[in-house]
Amino acid sequence: MAENRYYDALVQNINLEDITSSVHNADILRTLRDGHPDWNQELYILEDELDGDNDEFIVGEGDDLGWLGYFIGRSEVLQALVVDYLPAEGERMDALMRGITHNQSITKLSIRTDIGDEGFENLGLFLRSENALKYIKFQYFHVDTECGHNIAMALEQCRHDSLRSFELGNSNINEEGFAEIAATLRTQSQLENLHVRHNNIGRDGCVALGNLLRRWQSSNLKRLFLSNNNIDDLGLEALVEGMTNCSNLETVHLCDNRSITAAGIRSMSPLLQSESCSLTELKLHRINFGDVGAIALADGLRGTNSLRNLMFAPTSAGITDVGWSALSELLCDTSSINNTYLSNHTLERIGDGFFYDDSDTPPIISQYLAWNREERIDAALRKILESHPDLDMKPFFQWKLKFLPVIINWFGRVQEAGLKQSLGGRKLSSVYSFVRGMPMLVISQDREKTRRRSRKRRLDGETK
């Protein structure tokens, strides 16, 4: 606070050009202080120019970073701050971070360099204060055990529930450092996004993350990104135990974890089969799970209705006709009308999802998926009509004539869906098959109706 009073006393008379290394940087301080109609409310602290925009502060020899931190701290409109570079001199770095702790408007903070022990201590003070922060990222710098500890200690200070997204990416963090960070996130069950991509997280890290997810009492987690790590089958199994606890989880990315095999894919069945599963997207690019893995996925998705996108690269997944056959049966089991009806009608994409190139996906599967995506037409109706030219009515005889109006109504839905061409003459033949299957019941029903009409006419005659 004493340092802030120092800046407060001088701010009215300070010449911004005297505390910066360039006119451009002075203009940025002026924008932080006074605002600007064209400012995007973002600030990048860089070593070298990127685009030359008015949101890039290029750190030079003449820049007083204490003043930069002061104006950041005072800003009431700054939304996003990216710290991509800080000079090696600890005093300049620490002066900047001390100023940042006073800010109350930043919603997105990205740290792309090691800010040192005192810098992380100040980051902890920032996280402890009542601020608007929703997204925090640590990326593109090496996080060793000590740095991981510093990050964990800073996160430990976070006591408010505004944080929605945590990202630790391209940091080469080891198992020990990540386990400590995961433990400190135990009080952050309100997180919706957890990005831990391009690291060296293996089995021990998965156990730590699985424990974290399992301990969250009411998890709000929606997206979990774990691509490009060292996750193996046992690590994935440990993760599944935690993910099953996350009833709001919609997206899981496991791409480029090349130690995962069909056994790991099979361990995901409890998650996929969970009654509380909300998963809509699963990405498995560059994982060679083969036919056994494809069969495990088909079995795990049988009877579920949340997953929309099952994405993997067919060429690297190692799937042959055997695996594709299992996925085809998942989408449309043609062994009976009932099994066709109970097939999966919610999956919309299977295969490569970056630009959704389905050239390596068998045409019949692409067709089933296209029917699932069609909003105007009921996919189950379409699959039944296309897969069963002769509709067998015998399974419905047990309901006798009570089921006949249902059949007629069902064909009406087919016509409304625009499938009249596929319908052909099957409506009449199906009704005929139904009636022919129980002629005596139809005759007795008709005789009963005739008797009722005759009795009603007699009663009408007696009252006249």
pTM over 0.75, yes/no: yes
Q: Which residues contact 235 (CB under 8 A, 6 or more apart)?
A: 202, 203, 205, 206, 207, 264
Q: pLDDT digits over 311-349, tens only?
A: 999 989 999 999 999 999 999 999 988 899 899 999 999
Region label for 442, one of left (φ > 0), alpha (ψ between -120 and 50) or beta (otherwise): alpha
Which region among 33-37, 297-301, 451-455 has the lowest average model confidence (pLDDT)?
451-455
Taking 3-state DSSP, the helix, strand and coil percentages for the chain, each rounded to the nearest 5, stand at: 50, 10, 40
Q: What is the pLDDT of residue 395?
A: 62
Q: What is the pLDDT of residue 420?
A: 54
**Terminal CA-to-CA distance of the chain, rounded, Å?**
105
Q: Which of 185-199, 404-418, 431-445 has the highest mean pLDDT?
A: 185-199
What's the whole-number average pLDDT of the chain? Answer: 87
Share of the chain above pLDDT 70, in %: 82
Q: Give the span between the Cα atoms of 351 and 329, in whole angstroms.
A: 16
CB atoms within 10 A of CB 360: 12
Count how many Cα atoms sit within 13 Å of the Cα of residue 453 in the half-sphere of its side chain. Answer: 6
